[in-house]
Chains A and B, each alone.
Chain A
Amino acid sequence: MHELGIAESALELALTHARSAGASRVLRIVIRVGALSGVDPDALRFAFSAILPGTVADGAQLQIDPVPAVAYCSACQKDFFPDTDHFFECTTCGQLSATVKQGRELDLVRLEMI
Chain B
Amino acid sequence: MSERTSERTPTGAPPASGVILVDVREPDDVPITPPGDALPGTVRSLDLQVRLLDENDRQAAENRALLKARGIRALNLVSSPGSGKTTLLERTLDALAGQVRCAVLVGDLETDNDARRLRRPGLPVAQITTGGTCHLDASMIARGIAALPLDGVQLLFIENVGNLVCPASFDLGENRRVTLLSCTEGEDKPLKYPPIFTSAHAVILNKIDVAAVLGFDRAAALANIRRVAPKADVFELSARTSEGLDRWLAYLRGLL
* Interface residues, chain A, with chain B CB atoms under 8 Å away: 1-2, 5-6, 9-10, 13-14, 17-18, 21, 23, 25, 27, 31, 36-39, 85-87, 89, 96-98, 105-114
Q: Are B46 and A98 in contact (CB under 8 A)?
A: no
Chain A binder among B77-85, B103-111, B163-171: B163-171
Chosen A-B contacts, 21 in total, with CB atoms closer than 8 Å, are A2-B134, A10-B52, A13-B48, A13-B52, A14-B48, A17-B46, A21-B46, A25-B34, A25-B38, A31-B52, A86-B191, A86-B198, A86-B228, A96-B226, A98-B198, A98-B229, A110-B49, A111-B48, A113-B44, A114-B34, A114-B38
Chief secondary structure at chain A's binding surface: mixed
Pair count A-B, CB < 8 A: 93
Contacts of A6 in B (CB 8 A): 52
Closest to A10 in B: B52
Closest to B170 in A: A2
Closest to A113 in B: B44
Contacts of B229 in A (CB 8 A): 98
In the complex, B230 has a CB within 8 A of chain A: yes
In the complex, B47 has a CB within 8 A of chain A: yes
Q: Are A106 and B52 in contact (CB under 8 A)?
A: yes
In the complex, B250 has a CB within 8 A of chain A: no
Chain A nearest CB from B228 CB (Å) reads: 6
**Binary interface encoding of chain B residues 158-188 relative to chain A, with 1 for a CB under 8 A from any of its CBs, else 0:** 0000000110110000000000000000000
Give the number of chain B interface residues (Cβ < 8 Å).
33
Chain B nearest CB from A70 CB (Å) reads: 15
Contact among A2, A10, A96, A111 with B46 in the assembled complex (CB-CB below 8 Å): A111
In the complex, the 3 A-B pairs of residues with the closest C-beta atoms, listed nearest first: A86-B194, A2-B166, A38-B169
Q: Are A25 and B52 in contact (CB under 8 A)?
A: no
Contacts of A86 in B (CB 8 A): 191, 194-195, 198, 228
Q: Given A2-B135, A107-B52, A114-B34, are A23 and B169 neighbors across the interface (CB < 8 Å)? A: no
